[in-house]
Amino acid sequence: MGDDWSLHTFKSLELGALFPRRVFRAFACVALILGPWCAVAQNSTESSSNEPLAALGELVDSGRISEAERIVKQTLPNSAMEPAQSGFLRISVYDFAWALVGYSYLGANDYANAERLGKERLQVEASADQKSEHLPTFLMLMADVYRLQSKHAAAAPLYQQMYRLWIDDKLSADFIDNTLVALAECYIALGRQAEAVQILTPAKNPDGSDAGIAFHEQMYNAYAVALESAGRKAEATHLGAVIDAQSRRQPAANQQDRELFRARLLSAEGSYAKADAIYQKWIKYWESSSAPPSIDAKESLEIRTQALAEYTHFLSRRGRSGEAKAARARWKAMGCGLGKGKCGWR
């Protein structure tokens, strides 16, 4: 990766210093930004065109995703139609409305419609402006659609494009945690373990200690699994212990992160029984354990439902659609819903 790697190291230091993990997740997981987006859509008085958008959350949570898409297509066919926003909080209604619909299809395991929407939006952005500021939203959606179907060879180039945008200072740091973790997953699944380790290697503090563990657990946990996959098991075990000790979350939350990453890799290689056992383990664990202490209630709910959310994709890909539907129903019964701004689908 050459010069890219030097820039990566510098930007990793910058990321650890300036962008807590929750800031990233507020943008990258569409469910977590829906709350402020709805406020923009509902409170704006500049344009009556926002009024149809206010119902999107209810529509997607009731399973009427195609109806929600029709409303967005009529109201915001392209970014030029986005209503002007005022005040300190400026949110791209265009990005978030389309991402809500796309990730709702994905969360419902409707990969065909999620892929169709992602391709359509990328074509719109390409025809409008090759340097469109809206491009990362739809690159991420399209890459996630492929990755969650274990199509890592198709997903990797899209994540690489996101990574290149970050290196070139053309991508908000809001996206980078998920981009690096997802790209590393693709690399490992494709047998490129050394590259996975390289892109996840974290910056160090001047005293040699790890920087930013307390706010970037997702990346550190993925890094531990990448080290393990590269045959560096002693280092992986040590790092796992350091993460568990320094994280603001209880150890079980980080252990779940690492094991679910392994489950996705096991599924990609065809070790379905082992992957299934991991999902079942963590679903049962959180059913009998109290809510984990966390920065906020939303993150606690995400931690408790993460295995269940990922399990729906595993089941759907295995053709176990009835079980996938039941798992989604359990997810919603625990208080999750994209339209409610809770529990994004990874």
Asked, for residue 346, whether it belongs to a domain, the answer is no
**Quick one: tokens of 66?**
């195609």
| Predicted TM-score of the model (pTM) | 0.82
**307 pLDDT above the threshold of 50:** yes
Asked, for residue 210, whether it belongs to a domain, the answer is no
Mean pLDDT for all residues in the chain: 81
Q: What is the dihedral of CA 129, 133, 138, 140, to 10 degrees?
A: 130
**Region of 255 on the Ramachandran plot (φ > 0 left; ψ -120 to 50 alpha; else beta):** alpha
Mean of the pLDDT values across residues 301-313?
92
**285 pLDDT above the threshold of 60:** yes
Can you give the CATH number for the domain in which 40 is found? 1.25.40.10
Asked, for residue 285, whether it belongs to a domain, the answer is yes
pLDDT in the model for residue 46: 42
- Using one digit for the tens of pLDDT, what is the confidence trace for 203-251? 777 777 777 788 889 999 999 999 999 999 999 999 999 999 999 888 9
Q: Centre a 10 Å sphere on the Cβ of residue 339 and count the other Cβ atoms it contains.
A: 19
Mean of the pLDDT values across residues 36-41?
40
Q: Rounded distance, CA 336 to CA 328, Å?
A: 9
pLDDT in the model for residue 84: 65
Asked, for residue 85, whether it belongs to a domain, the answer is yes
Q: Cβ contacts of residue 285 below 8 Å, gap of 6+? A: 252, 256
**CA proximity to 74, closest of 55, 46, 90, 58:** 55
Mean of the pLDDT values across residues 294-302?
77
pLDDT in the model for residue 327: 92
More confident position, 8 or 46:
8
pLDDT in the model for residue 343: 65
Which structural domain range is residue 239 located in? 3-205+218-340
Q: Rounded distance, CA 26 to CA 23, Å?
A: 5
Total domains in the chain come to 1
Mean of the pLDDT values across residues 171-199?
92
Asked, for residue 345, whether it belongs to a domain, the answer is no
**65 pLDDT above the threshold of 60:** yes
CA angle 108, 113, 115 (to 5 degrees): 105
**323 pLDDT above the threshold of 80:** yes
Asked, for residue 178, whether it belongs to a domain, the answer is yes
Q: Is the dihedral of CA 329, 330, 336, 338 positive or negative?
A: negative
Asked, for residue 10, whether it belongs to a domain, the answer is yes
pLDDT in the model for residue 25: 37
**302 pLDDT above the threshold of 60:** yes
